[in-house]
Amino acid sequence: MSILFSITGILFALILSFIFSYDRKAINFKKPLTMLVIQVIIVLFMMNTTIGLTTLTTLGSFFESLLDISKAGIDFVFGGLQNKGASTFFITVLLPLVFISVLIGVLNYFKILPFMIKYIGIIINKLTGMGRLESYFAISTSMLGQPEVYLTIKEMIPKLSKAKLYTITTSGMSAVSMAMLGSYMQMLEPKFVVTAVMLNIFSALIIASVINPYKSDDKDVEISNLTANSNVHENNTTKPKKVPFFQMIGDSATDGFKIAVSVAIMLLAFISLMEAITVLFNLVGLDFRQLIGFIFAPIAFIIGIPWHEAVQAGSIMATKLITNEFVAMLDFQKLADTLSHRTQGIISVYLVSFANFGTVGIIVGSIKGFSTEQGNKVASFAMRLLLGSTLASIISASMIGLVL
């Protein structure tokens, strides 16, 4: 029965992706089928050994330590702006981007990231056939998260086609950074969190290969020089010249702050818009969140959740969509003890992603920080981006049902 519901959940996501595909005739079904097989192997391996869990937990602690380091500068400059025990989203969540940007700039400067990009891209592309940039981005978002990961391709963003923009932003919405794992593991069972991180890498590419099929030729820019150009200046009379080290640090810090401000502006707009919709529904006696929860109940059943728990699960799934994963996880904690182990596992995996309305604003703001034109392109397919990332979460959640 668990295998049957896993199949129905996956088929539901693929069929919906097919309906909303930009070009159905161009779909190469070999790609999603190959990645589905890889996911089955991942699920069986991750849920039956401790190697993957130990490795990802260690990496998560490493990235959390980087964010702790960033607090030194933040506390020095903005420490007096927060009340003791309080938390301001811009200061605690967005400002660490400045330090992350500088760190990425240093890795670029010493050619470490270009080396990783080249060879990780080659390996993952051999498995997925999605293109070296797309494959690299799917992996790097699971290490850096978004919007930080866009800093690694800031020179490439203005040159990307609309098709590639859709694929990388779908990965951005479907993945979560390693730095977030510690927080998630305090609210969800660790083995489900880690498995979800691995599954989401391929789920995003599966959905993108159906909704947004194209042949990636990597002609937008030479992949081996992806980040090297971020440290050089060039003009019409001289060859590209590497900028001084401390100038690079200044430029990188400015880029990080630029993204932080752009993201904050977009969050103000999108979250306020969602609150306005909720208020309008309340005026006519309807609970917008609960209403969407009932809509999600059949989807919860399709992906393997028992019908008597489907309404509760659907409400949690809807909460994640209209708010964010943290709010949904807190609601889930209150209900977890009343749900079966199977439902707990499926919902846990579903919640580990950034697929929600607010993240659309973050991604649009991040891209606009480097290119207004490209940011507008992302905004033009925002709803299809939200659909794709949500379907990716459905595939991951369906997959975990195989072993529950």
pLDDT at 224: 46
Using pLDDT thresholds of 50, 70 and 90, give the confidence band for residue 227: very low
pLDDT at 60: 64
Which of 70-74, 173-177, 221-225 is the least confident region? Answer: 221-225
Q: Which of 113, 161, 163 is nearest to 140 (CA)?
A: 113
Q: What letters, b where the CB count within 10 A reaches 16 and e where it falls short, cover 87-124?
A: eeeebbebbbbbbbbbbbbbbbbeeebbebbbebbeeb
Which ranges of 177-287 does DSSP label H, i.e. alpha helix?
181-185, 190-211, 245-283
- 192: CB partners within 8 A, 6+ apart: 344, 345, 348, 349, 352, 400
Judged against a pLDDT cut of 50, whether residue 384 lies above it is answered with yes
- Identify the residue with better confidence: 218 or 379: 379
Judged against a pLDDT cut of 80, whether residue 4 lies above it is answered with yes
Judged against a pLDDT cut of 60, whether residue 239 lies above it is answered with no
Which of 41-45, 163-167, 199-203, 217-221 is the least confident region? Answer: 217-221
The string of pLDDT tens digits covering residues 144-180 is 666 667 877 777 888 888 888 898 899 888 887 655 6
Residue range 14-25: average pLDDT?
92
Written as six digits, the tokens of 143 are: 């290490």
pLDDT at 207: 94
Judged against a pLDDT cut of 90, whether residue 10 lies above it is answered with yes
Dist CA 49 CA 259 (whole Å): 39
Judged against a pLDDT cut of 90, whether residue 346 lies above it is answered with yes
Dist CA 142 CA 194 (whole Å): 11
pLDDT at 229: 44
Written as six digits, the tokens of 95 are: 């400002």
Which of 72-81, 213-222, 269-278, 373-382 is the least confident region? Answer: 213-222
Amino acid at 55: T
Which of 113-127, 202-216, 374-388 is the least confident region? Answer: 113-127
- Identify the residue with better confidence: 261 or 18: 18
pLDDT at 185: 75
pLDDT at 256: 80
Q: Which of 97, 89, 3 is nearest to 43 (CA)?
A: 3
Judged against a pLDDT cut of 60, whether residue 397 lies above it is answered with yes
Using pLDDT thresholds of 50, 70 and 90, give the confidence band for residue 32: very high
Judged against a pLDDT cut of 70, whether residue 370 lies above it is answered with yes
In this prediction the pTM is 0.77
- 130: CB partners within 8 A, 6+ apart: 31, 138, 167, 205, 208, 209, 216
Instruction: Return mean pLDDT, the chain.
Output: 81
Residue range 312-332: average pLDDT?
84
Helix axes 245-283, 96-109, angle to 10 degrees: 140
Omega prior to 32 cis, within 30 of 0? no
Residue range 183-189: average pLDDT?
75
State the Rg of the chain over Cα: 21
